[in-house]
Amino acid sequence: MAKEANRNCGKNSLNKGEIRRQILTVRDRMEPEVKARCDEAIRARVFAHSVYKEAQVILAYASYRSEVDTAVMIRHALADGKYVFAPKVAGTEMEFWQITSLEDLHKGYKGILEPEERISFPEWIERAIGVQQRLQYKVMMWMPGAVFDRKRHRIGYGKGFYDRYLGRFYGCDREEQIAGSQTEILLTTAALAYACQLMQELPCEPHDVRPDIVITEAEIL
């Protein structure tokens, strides 16, 4: 899907940092059994979605602390024959690297599980184009986040890794990487969140990248 610019950003008396702290406190206090039920409902919505079913590639993330759990989802995607990649931070940037099992993940940035640097997503695309000559790759990205609103605006964790990554993805460098190949990469970004992380309206900035869809235990936006 095409990158969406943020227009008509909401106004809020609280700044992003204050909103983030408040909502993460609520998320952190979820009862384990409630969180487990919500995780199961979110997984069911993801796996039933046409975007997941049609995707050849999943850009996943290794869940941390009270985030929507992705361990079972990653195993499921691998069992479904998807090519799965997970993010790794290097300085101020982030790249996705292929994994073939959860054992490929090890503690990295701030204790978050990160992949070994074997084959990056751009490298995999280049190799796949040469071998398979596929004209179109459908990619689903699972995005974490702290807070979302009903227009799919997102507040992350304050470091901007996903905004910068998606800015590069939609920028000219990605087009240059596949120039002349006639290969099209169709990326759909799907934020995974609990209903308690949703607000009616959030403050946002023009450079913020909205996910294409937001999936909670209760609905899909």
State the number of CA atoms in the 13 A half-sphere of 198 facing the CB: 18
At residue 183, does pLDDT exceed 90?
Answer: no
**Contact 101/62 with Cβ under 8 angstroms?**
no
Q: What is the pLDDT of residues 1-44, one digit of tens each?
A: 445 545 455 555 578 999 999 999 999 999 999 999 999 999 99
Compute the CA torsion angle 18, 22, 25, 27 (nearest 10 deg).
-120
Between residues 13 and 121, the one the model is more confident about: 121
**Nearest-angstrom CA–CA distance, 33 and 210:** 30
The domain locations on the chain are 16-215
Burial zone of 150 (CB within 10 Å; 0-12 exposed, 13-18 middle, 19+ buried): middle
Q: Which of 78, 48, 63 is nearest to 111 (CA)?
A: 63
Name the phi and psi angles at 100, rounded to 5: -115, -5
pTM of the model: 0.88
Q: What is the pLDDT of residues 139-182, one digit of tens each?
A: 999 999 999 999 999 999 988 899 999 988 877 444 444 444 56
**Contact 22/14 with Cβ under 8 angstroms?**
yes
CATH of domain 16-215: 3.40.50.10420
**Contact 76/47 with Cβ under 8 angstroms?**
yes
